[in-house]
Amino acid sequence: MNIIHFMSMAQNRAARFHGVGKPMTLEDLPMAGGEGALVRVEAAGLCGTDLHIAVEGTMTTAFLPITLGHEIAGVVEEGAGEFRPGDRVCVYPHVPCFSCEYCRSDREALCRASRIFGVQRDGGFARYIRLPDSCLFRLPDVVPFEVGAALTDAVSTAYHAVRRRAEVRAGESVAVFGCGALGTFAIKILARLAPSAILGVDVQPSALERAKRAGATAAVNARDTEAAKEVRRLTGGGADVAFEFIGSAKTVKEAVRSVRPGGRVVVVGIGSEPVELTSLRVFVGNEVTLMGSMGLSRQDLRDVIEWAGEGRLSLEGDIEVRPLAEINEVLREAAGGERKAAKFVLKP
Ligand SMILES: [Zn+2]
Ligand SMILES: [Zn+2]
């Protein structure tokens, strides 16, 4: 049996999402044909986006049923462009247009024509995925697939916030509100930039433990204390930079109140409630810079792959790998909050 014949007969086992509150089902779909590379998925990260869609129902997909998952690493099965069968790769999480002003200036996350895997097109909770080779990035042999999957969004979104938006410099003090996957990875990236202090802020003891292991110089439990006040006390007047990775009105407000005059606040978390920050007297009078940070550019992904390949970024202990067949249990556990590893990655 030649390979082409085999592929045309092959089925693609995928976890299909049929609607909020309904369990995902493993289904055998016909293998997607057409343009681009065919990638055999070795690891696919579970992200907050998947929870927003499947558990909370606060985000909707372009069609149903759909295969969720946009954090993908695997092996090229059918090549395209410069990629050949057998190449280890990870995948940029959406397909931008490559021609608008944002795409041409390394801000593909702002592309209005972009199609996200697992939201506007079928994603990576499947054995195979077909995609444009412009979304593929080579994964060094020393980087395991589950790490490669985490690099494609969780790590590079944190990297984008730290390096492209806040542009954190050596010697600055930094507060990280929310020490889930993004916050943990942000702390690891920050620890490489020689800041004077990294304060991890969360309400979960396991998250605060994780923050310290990742390199936080102090952990602030926002359940027991007024977080902004504690950050101001520990930094002697306020942090130079605060990151918000939760997307709640309360923590955005705390983040704004935790920075020193001239400080910067970068909001990465996305929520739907309106946010009341502080008085304009404080906001304007202190020249606080407030900015949003959305996703990642292809350059950000290139950078974090390089860091991981050089051993500058180790995600050991941050990732729990589970079989794709356990997707429904994993979704429940992830939605529950308290967990040891920062991130779940599914293996088809
Ligand atoms: Zn993600
Ligand atoms: Zn574009």
* Residues paired with residue 38 on neighbouring β-strands, in sequence order: 78, 130
pLDDT in tens, 207-229: 999 999 999 999 999 999 999 99
The yes-or-no verdict on residue 255 having pLDDT over 90 is: yes
Q: How far apart are CA 272 and CA 327, in angstroms?
A: 26
Ligand positioned closest to the Cα atom of 185: 1
The yes-or-no verdict on residue 241 having pLDDT over 50 is: yes
Ligand positioned closest to the Cα atom of 109: 2
In this prediction the pTM is 0.94
Instruction: Decide if 168 contacts 140 (C-beta within 8 A).
Output: no
Mean pLDDT along residues 114-143: 97
Q: 296 CA to middle of ligand 2, Å?
A: 13
Where b means 16+ CB within 10 Å and e means fewer, 286-307 reads bebebeebebbbbebbebbbeb
pLDDT in tens, 143-178: 999 999 999 999 999 999 999 999 999 999 999 999
The yes-or-no verdict on residue 3 having pLDDT over 70 is: no
3-156+296-347 fold: Quinone Oxidoreductase; Chain A, domain 1 (3.90.180)
Q: How far apart are CA 324 and CA 346, in angstroms?
A: 5
Maximum distance among all alpha carbons in the chain? 75
The yes-or-no verdict on residue 1 having pLDDT over 70 is: no
The yes-or-no verdict on residue 74 having pLDDT over 60 is: yes
Q: What is the 3-state secondary structure (H, E, C) of 33-78?
A: CCCCEEEEEEEEECCHHHHHHHHHCCCCCCCCCEECCCEEEEEEEE
Q: 233 CA to middle of ligand 1, Å?
A: 34
Mean pLDDT along residues 179-205: 96
Q: 93 CA to middle of ligand 2, Å?
A: 14
Ligand positioned closest to the Cα atom of 182: 1
The pLDDT-based confidence of 5 (bands split at 50, 70, 90) is very low
The yes-or-no verdict on residue 325 having pLDDT over 90 is: yes
Can you give the residue ranges of every domain in the chain? 3-156+296-347, 167-292
Mean pLDDT along residues 18-25: 95
The yes-or-no verdict on residue 254 having pLDDT over 80 is: yes
The pLDDT-based confidence of 316 (bands split at 50, 70, 90) is confident
Ligand positioned closest to the Cα atom of 268: 1
The yes-or-no verdict on residue 337 having pLDDT over 80 is: no
Task: Select the more confidently predicted residue: 201 or 4.
Answer: 201
Which residues sit with Cβ closer than 5 angstroms to ligand 1, an ion? 47, 71, 153
What does DSSP assign to residue 170? Answer: T
Mean pLDDT (the chain, rounded):
94
Ligand positioned closest to the Cα atom of 91: 1
Q: 232 CA to middle of ligand 1, Å?
A: 31
- Sequence-distant (6+) residues with CB within 8 A of 224 are none
Q: 335 CA to middle of ligand 1, Å?
A: 15
Q: What is the pLDDT of residue 272?
A: 85
Ligand positioned closest to the Cα atom of 296: 1
Q: What is the pLDDT of residue 342?
A: 83
Ligand positioned closest to the Cα atom of 118: 1
Q: What is the 3-state secondary structure (H, E, C) of 185-226?
A: HHHHHHHCCCCCEEEEEECCHHHHHHHHHHCCCEEEECCCCC
Q: 149 CA to middle of ligand 1, Å?
A: 9
The yes-or-no verdict on residue 245 having pLDDT over 50 is: yes
Q: 106 CA to middle of ligand 2, Å?
A: 10
Task: Select the more confidently predicted residue: 192 or 5.
Answer: 192
Q: Would you tell me which CATH number, out of the four given (3.10.580.10, 3.40.50.720, 3.40.50.800, 1.20.1260.10), belongs to the domain 167-292?
A: 3.40.50.720
pLDDT in tens, 34-68: 889 999 999 999 998 999 999 999 999 999 999 99
What does each C-alpha distance from 235 to 155, 206, 287 come to in angstroms? 26, 23, 18
The yes-or-no verdict on residue 10 having pLDDT over 80 is: no
Q: What is the pLDDT of residue 2?
A: 47
Ligand positioned closest to the Cα atom of 114: 2
The yes-or-no verdict on residue 301 having pLDDT over 60 is: yes
